[in-house]
């Protein structure tokens, strides 16, 4: 199956990490679909990608964090693109620093867990059946390393939410050991930014997108966690390890 015959659904594709992935996939000739609750962000994504690839981008306004709305978005998407061959899940947010736990409410914790875990689970449940039984398909999770350590004071709920996402990915690898679909995880242990907001040690979201797109394109690993600690790891951990 050539890239032009594959349709990649990028969950969270309108965000910083996701937009880099979307652009890279389109530049490699894939058809790409993105679902977002914010139509304005979808418009910005469309203006961000390479002009000659925009016709291969399908944008759907929908909420993948709700079971009912995720199913509605799936049906709308399938009506437009016909099929989904690959999924990249890059949901959630990259930063939260609301303060130490005793200053937070249960509502605050629920929002973090809903954003980082519940939406990942609900969207997986909705879209995983589209690719699970195909050996030529992939499902790739993009997660963060915040779940393994407290990044700095006041970020505790981010650690709790990110840890739940890491645990969910581990559960899937072990619950589905013989899965035909290629199931992988890219765990990013550093910041990701657009070129105009780069900081020392950060990953350029375009470079990260290129690495993830290559992983999706090759389809020769499964049940693997690719840990990226610095920009150099994009080549040594993902590109070379995936040869």
**pLDDT digit string (tens) for the chain, length 243 residues:** 899 999 999 999 999 999 999 999 999 999 999 999 999 999 999 999 999 999 999 999 999 999 999 999 999 999 999 999 999 999 987 788 999 999 999 999 999 999 999 999 999 999 999 999 999 999 999 999 889 999 899 999 999 999 999 999 999 999 999 999 999 999 999 999 999 999 998 999 999 999 999 999 999 999 999 999 999 999 888 878 775
What is the DSSP annotation of the chain? --GGG-EEEEETTTSHHHHHHHHHHHHTT-EEEEEES-HHHHHHHHHHS-GGGGGGEEEEE--TTSHHHHHHHHHHHHHHHS---EEEE--S-S------GGG--HHHHHHHHIIIIIHHHHHHHHHGGGTTT-TT-EEEEEEEGGGGS--STT-HHHHHHHHHHHHHHHHHHHH-TT-SSEEEEEEE-S-EE-GGG--TTPEEHHHHHHHHHHHHHH----SEEEEE-STTHIIIIIITTT-
Number of domains comprising the chain: 1
Check which CATH number belongs to the domain holding 165 and give it.
3.40.50.720
pTM: 0.96
Domain that holds residue 48: 3-239
């Amino acid at each position: 199956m050539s890239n032009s015959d594959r349709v990649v659904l990028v969950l969270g594709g309108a965000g910083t990490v996701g937009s880099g992935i979307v652009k890279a996939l389109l530049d490699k000739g894939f058809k790409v679909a993105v679902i977002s609750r914010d139509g304005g962000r979808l418009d910005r994504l469309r203006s961000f990608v390479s002009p000659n690839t925009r016709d291969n981008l399908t944008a759907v306004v929908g909420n993948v964090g709700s079971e009912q709305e995720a199913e509605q978005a799936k049906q709308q998407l399938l009506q437009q693109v016909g099929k989904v061959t690959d999924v990249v899940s890059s949901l959630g947010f990259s930063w939260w620093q609301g303060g130490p736990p005793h200053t937070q409410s249960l509502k605050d914790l629920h929002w973090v867990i809903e954003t980082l875990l519940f939406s990942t689970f609900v969207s997986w449940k909705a879209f995983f059946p589209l690719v699970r039984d195909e050996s030529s398909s992939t499902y790739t999770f993009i997660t963060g390393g915040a779940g393994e350590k407290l990044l700095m004071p006041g970020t505790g709920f981010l650690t709790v939410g990110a840890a739940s996402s890491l645990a969910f990915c581990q559960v899937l690898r072990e619950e589905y050991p013989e899965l035909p679909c290629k199931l992988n995880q890219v765990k990013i242990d550093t910041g990701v930014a657009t070129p105009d907001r780069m900081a020392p040690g950060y990953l350029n979201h375009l470079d990260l997108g290129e690495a993830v797109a290559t992983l999706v394109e090759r389809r020769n690993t499964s049940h693997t966690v690719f840990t990226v600690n610095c920009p150099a790891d994009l080549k040594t951990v993902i590109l070379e390890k995936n040869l």
